[in-house]
Amino acid sequence: MAEIVLTNVAVLCFDGVAPFELGLLCEAFALDRSDDGVPPIDFAVCALEAGPVATSSGGFALNVEHGIDRVFEADLVAVPAQSSGQATPPEVLEALRQVYAAGTRLISVCSGAFTLGEAGLLDGRECTTHWRYTDQLASRFPLARVVPEVLYVDSGQVITSAGSAAGLDACLHLWRQEYGAATASRIARRMVVPPHRDGGQAQFIARVVPDCDADTLGPLLTWAVENLEEDLSIEALAKRAHMSVRTFSRRFRDETGATPHAWVTAQRLAAAEELLESGDESVERIASRVGLGNAATLRHHFTRARGVSPQRYRQAFRAAALT
């Protein structure tokens, strides 16, 4: 597990910035949640020069206090969405190249991926953007490995995300990486959003699931999260939902944007994270409690999804969770 470095975030904007996507970055990193035990972040919005920056919505501008030099102090530089077809100032592109060369992490929201592409930072890298623009992104930057329709792509030093809500998912993913599942969950709870949606989940679902509608899978999903140690195979879930496996599989994908196996595995890993942070149970016991059978199976899925073993995850975040 890498040393925690997310302490300083700079959002880089220029004329044409989308205010909503800028706002979600402010919501994710600028708010002081220290009363909930969330570490404070040194946060700044930056432009080429301090002063007014026009927004994509028209009718109002932002008064930005920091010039572009501020980005060189940051651990993470964020690029929000911009107006469609908006040209990126050369000075912005050069600043992005310089911070990337220095090892700074970068994150884009929605069409902000095009700015990273113009800087040459998507070449040879998996990336994404809003589903409406993935073809355009692939056409403009043929060396980029565009992954269509996913929520976000973490390719190491560069994270790209789809529209709006997916940007929050990517930010929570970063919080989880740096400070653990408990901290990410506290932030998500304050924002009233899901604490974890895997980046590979589809950007959109065929239809919204109203919680009060008994005909949807909502009650079944709630039961599954509360009973992760049970048999949650597609056959067992389909039987519980009184559907054929084929119908259930199609309905599940329509309502969640994920396959049953992927969704269940994600829920089990999220539960394992919290148990690793908050208790002293063995990895073997945790694996049994979350329905992954044994330590070897948990270790396989956890390492594949999180990039570290359960033991190293616990070492990194156990002390933080107890403070």
Tell whether 172 is covered by a domain.
Answer: yes
Question: What pLDDT is recorded for position 201?
Answer: 59
Please report the pLDDT score of residue 307 as a whole number.
80
Q: Based on the domain organization, do 174 and 309 belong to the same domain?
A: no
109 strand-pairing partners: 161
Q: What is the average pLDDT score of the chain?
A: 88
Which portions of the chain are predicted below pLDDT 70? 1-4, 84-85, 195-196, 198-215, 318-323
Say yes or no: 168 and 135 in one domain: yes
Give the span between the Cα atoms of 276 and 317, in whole angstroms. Answer: 8
Number of structural domains the chain divides into: 2
CA distances from 127 to 100, 122, 130 (A): 16, 7, 11
Predicted pLDDT of residue 227: 94
Count of alpha carbons within 13 angstroms of residue 281, beta-carbon side: 17
Please check whether residue 141 lies inside any domain of the structure. yes
Task: Name the pTM for this structure.
Answer: 0.74
223 assigned to some structural domain:
yes
Q: What is the pLDDT of residue 24?
A: 95
- Residue 298: name the closest of 229, 201, 225, 238 by CA: 229
Same domain, 213 and 186: no
In-domain check, residue 198: no
Looking at the domain assignment, is residue 2 inside a domain? Answer: no
The enclosing domain of 100 has a CATH number of: 3.40.50.880
Q: DSSP letter for 89, please.
A: P
Of 82, 89, 49, 80, residue with least CA distance to 65: 49
Instruction: Write the pLDDT tens digit of every residue in 9-25.
Output: 999 999 999 999 999 99
Does one domain contain both 308 and 219? Answer: yes
Same domain, 183 and 49: yes
**Domain boundary, last residue among 191, 219, 243:** 191
Same domain for 169 and 253, yes or no, is no
Q: Are 140 and 216 contained in the same domain?
A: no
**Same domain, yes or no: 187 and 214:** no
Same domain? For 27 and 163 the reply is: yes
pLDDT for res 319: 53
Residues 156 and 246 in one domain: no
Q: Which domain holds residue 183?
A: 8-191
Taking Cα atoms as reference points, which of 321, 226, 242 lies closest to residue 274?
321
At residue 71, the pLDDT reads 97
Q: Is residue 202 part of a domain?
A: no
Per-residue HEC secondary structure of 48-63 comes to: CCCEEEEECCCCCEEE
Q: Give DSSP secondary structure letters for 116-171.
A: HHHTT-SBTSEE---TTTHHHHHHH-TTBEE-TTBSEEE-SSEEEE-STHHHHHHH
Quick one: 183 and 242 in the same domain? Answer: no
Please count the CA atoms within 13 angstroms of the CA of 232 that sit on its side-chain side: 25
- Domain's final residue, options 143, 158, 191: 191
If asked whether residues 155 and 214 sit together in one domain, one would say: no
pLDDT in tens, 206-257: 433 333 333 478 889 889 989 999 999 999 999 999 999 999 999 898 888 7
Domain end among 165, 191, 217:
191
Inside any domain, residue 200:
no
Does a structural domain hold residue 296?
A: yes
Cα(194)–Cα(161) distance, integer angstroms: 16
283: domain CATH number is 1.10.10.60
pLDDT of residue 258: 84
Q: Which helix (H) or strand (E) holds 9?
A: strand 8-12
